[in-house]
């Protein structure tokens, strides 16, 4: 069995969703824009903005962010230090500060947050380096307020360590991130929304992975497309291909693919067929409008369907967003207003 499996695979790592390929198909534009945005760091200048990358899971957000760090590390490590922190793993400000210190200095630290960051900035200043940090899953941070963490990190660098510039890429594992106006003003973030891959894009990505990962003639393009169309997302598709490569005998068949889909489950696909009457009503109004606020949806329901609390509207909208059927963004209408689309 093991010999057969190794015979099918040319490179197992290709099917690991956390491995960053040399080329990230359909994200070239975003990579180019992010490199251009942070390029001033290598010349000792402060980039005009930070960045926020957001979108649904498995659309290349983390891969692109880590690709940017990799490019800076490979090409301008003498001028720019890089750091990656997953805020779903590092759950307190102290853990985050210690991780940044470790990645910059390669030393461990048990100092409190302010002292740890101060030591980090001193190291950067002494080495005449700037710092680019990726905060992944930043909306999942459970160690306090992400806004406070960012202020704690960025303010001392700008005010007390002249010449040291810190820039961040915030990656949201969803579209529901929020930054206080004060922090948003200091970050001046440029937003990059990553849309879902369509089936054709998934096919091209998977086709390239299969060429790199499987031996020749192991899987047909027809079966690759079948996986692309049936998988809930790219991560699920890669898991299917990894699994099917382990059960197939010399060549992958349709039966092998079907077996893999019964064994490897992904996130549910967007499905509008099992929505409640309220959810169906809200969805119809959102589809009729370019954008529409929660308050407007509430007023429409009051007028056309009858009394309901705005909390009830909000709960149903949250479910629609969780299913990936609708999305929202914040706009400036009498403050920050959430509009749906």
Task: Pinpoint the alpha helices (H) of 89-143.
Answer: 93-105, 113-126
Question: In 3-state terms, what secondary structure has residue 136?
Answer: strand
Task: Pinpoint the alpha helices (H) of 42-110.
Answer: 61-76, 93-105
Checking if the pLDDT of 306 tops 90, the result is no
> In the predicted model, what is the mean pLDDT of residues 227-242?
93
Confidence at 3, pLDDT banded by 50, 70, 90: very low
Where does the chain show beta strands of DSSP type E? 51-55, 80-86, 130-136, 166-172, 190-194, 292-293, 328-332, 336-340
8-18 residue pLDDT tens: 999 989 998 88
33-78 residue pLDDT tens: 999 999 999 999 999 999 999 988 899 999 999 999 999 999 999 9
What are the chain's domains? 2-17+197-263 (1.10.8.60), 28-194 (3.40.50.300), 277-340 (1.10.10.10)
* pLDDT for the residue numbered 142: 63
Which residue would you say has higher pLDDT here, 340 or 170? Answer: 170
165-223 residue pLDDT tens: 999 999 987 655 666 666 677 788 899 999 889 999 999 999 999 999 999 999 999 99
Nearest CA among 153, 196, 189, 190 for reference residue 174 = 196
> In the predicted model, what is the mean pLDDT of residues 267-287?
72
Confidence at 120, pLDDT banded by 50, 70, 90: very high
> What are the beta bridge partners of residue 166?
131
**Separation of CA 329 from chain center:** 16
């Amino acid at each position: 069995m093991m010999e057969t499996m190794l015979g099918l695979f040319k490179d197992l790592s290709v099917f690991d969703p956390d491995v960053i390929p040399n080329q990230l198909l359909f994200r070239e534009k975003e990579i180019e824009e992010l490199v251009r945005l942070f390029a001033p760091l290598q010349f000792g200048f402060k980039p005009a903005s930070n960045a926020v990358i957001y979108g649904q899971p498995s659309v290349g957000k983390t891969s692109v962010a880590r690709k940017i760090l990799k490019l800076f590390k490979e090409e301008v490590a003498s001028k720019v230090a890089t750091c990656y922190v997953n805020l779903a793993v590092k759950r307190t400000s102290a853990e985050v500060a210690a991780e940044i210190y470790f990645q910059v200095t390669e030393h461990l630290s048990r100092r409190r947050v302010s002292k740890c960051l101060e030591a980090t900035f001193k190291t950067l200043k002494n080495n005449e380096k700037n710092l680019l940090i990726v905060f992944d899953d930043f909306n999942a941070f459970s160690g306090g307020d992400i806004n406070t963490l960012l202020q704690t990190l960025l303010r001392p660098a700008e005010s007390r360590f002249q010449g040291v510039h810190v820039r961040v890429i915030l990656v949201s594992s969803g579209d529901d991130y929020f930054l206080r106006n004060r922090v948003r003003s200091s970050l001046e973030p440029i937003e990059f929304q990553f849309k879902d891959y369509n089936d054709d894009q998934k096919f091209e990505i998977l086709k390239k992975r299969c060429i790199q990962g499987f031996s020749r003639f192991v899987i047909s393009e027809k079966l690759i497309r079948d996986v692309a169309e049936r998988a809930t997302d790219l991560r699920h598709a890669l898991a299917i291909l990894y699994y099917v490569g382990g059960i197939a005998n010399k060549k992958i068949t349709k039966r092998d693919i079907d077996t893999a889909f019964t064994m490897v489950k992904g996130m549910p696909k967007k499905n509008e067929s099992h929505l409640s009457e309220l959810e169906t009503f809200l969805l119809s109004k959102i589809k009729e409008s370019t954008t529409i606020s929660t308050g407007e949806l509430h007023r429409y329901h009051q007028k056309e369907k009858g009394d309901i609390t705005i909390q009830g509207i909000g709960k149903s909208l949250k479910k629609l967003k969780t299913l990936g059927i609708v999305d929202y963004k914040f706009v400036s209408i009498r403050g920050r207003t959430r509009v749906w689309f």
